[in-house]
Amino acid sequence: MPTRMLLLLVRSTGGLEAVNVWFSIVKNKVFCTRGVMTTVNFARTTASKELLKLVFQSIDAQSCPRCFNFHMHTVYSDGRLQPNTLMEQAIAIGLQGFAITDHHSIDGYQVAQTWLENWKWNNPGANAPHLWSGVEINANLLNTEVHILGYAFDPEEPSITPYIQRTATTDEDYEAEAVIAAIQQAGGLAVLAHPARYKRSHFELIPASAVAGIDGVETFYAYNNPNPWRPSALESLQVQQLAGEYGLFNTCGTDTHGLSLLQRL
């Protein structure tokens, strides 16, 4: 398998910092086998976001749920999984990278992050998956309630604080533009969740979200809860075409609320 090293130059508060990232790249796609994506301790949010952009560029219909997963809930919102159980499953599946996206909460993410640090300590040299910060936020877009996913933000940044209080915001904080700006000001990326699941069509909502500054759309999503999980063919294709038209990242996620990361409900 051809292996290539990507050298990321990341501008951070300390100046220009070199971060080595190893990928096995086959035909420009991140190839998902255990231990392929090894990252060197991403301490800084900036580096974490740059890595996420690279990964988002590689996402296709096969990426979720066994290589990556960018949409999962825990008991810290309306999910049934404890963060520690979620982490055990993530390791068992062999996920390379993922995010926990509880509604208006990062508590589950923080428990999982601690679990992962301990796991790394106890498994020196093992290929650990990358866990990005994540959250799912209610917002108004075209007089429709939509969900906006935030990733790789710094939870300490004040702009994100109103959105991680375990309850939806109101008034101007509830507008999609404000939610997207808050995520981006905190150093993160904003993604429109399940674009074909709202009262208004994705053909209206995706262009409007692009105008509001969105970075990506959750292209690969299972709208009819199939078992095993697989993205809905027609909706995914339509969303992927719109993402191309508006220059947005494609992402994927199971939106797990139940006890298996390979299922939605």
Chain residues binding Zn ion by CB under 5 A are 136, 147, 193, 255
- For residue 236, the minimal CB distance to Zn ion (Å) is 16
Cβ 8 vs Cβ 48: under 8 Å:
no
- For residue 113, the minimal CB distance to Zn ion (Å) is 19
User: What is the spatial distance between Cα 210 and Cα 217, in angstroms, rounded to a whole number?
Assistant: 10
User: What is the spatial distance between Cα 215 and Cα 243, in angstroms, rounded to a whole number?
Assistant: 10
Block residue for tokens 């309306």: 78
- Please, which residue, 197 or 230, has the CB nearer to Zn ion? 197
- For residue 33, the minimal CB distance to Zn ion (Å) is 28
- Please, which residue, 29 or 197, has the CB nearer to Zn ion? 197
Parallel, antiparallel or unpaired: strands 189-192 and 144-151: antiparallel
- Please, which residue, 39 or 89, has the CB nearer to Zn ion? 89
- Please, which residue, 44 or 202, has the CB nearer to Zn ion? 202
- Please, which residue, 36 or 212, has the CB nearer to Zn ion? 212
Distance of CA 250 to the CA centre of its chain: 10
- For residue 129, the minimal CB distance to Zn ion (Å) is 20
Radius of gyration for the chain, computed over Cα atoms and rounded to the nearest angstrom = 17
User: What is the spatial distance between Cα 162 and Cα 105, in angstroms, rounded to a whole number?
Assistant: 10
- Please, which residue, 46 or 63, has the CB nearer to Zn ion? 63
User: What is the spatial distance between Cα 171 and Cα 116, in angstroms, rounded to a whole number?
Assistant: 37
- For residue 197, the minimal CB distance to Zn ion (Å) is 7
- Please, which residue, 104 or 147, has the CB nearer to Zn ion? 147
- For residue 42, the minimal CB distance to Zn ion (Å) is 25
DSSP string for residues in 172-221? GGGBHHHHHHHHHHTT-EEEE-STTSSSS-HHHHHHHHHHTT--EEEEE-
- For residue 194, the minimal CB distance to Zn ion (Å) is 6
User: What is the spatial distance between Cα 82 and Cα 76, in angstroms, rounded to a whole number?
Assistant: 8
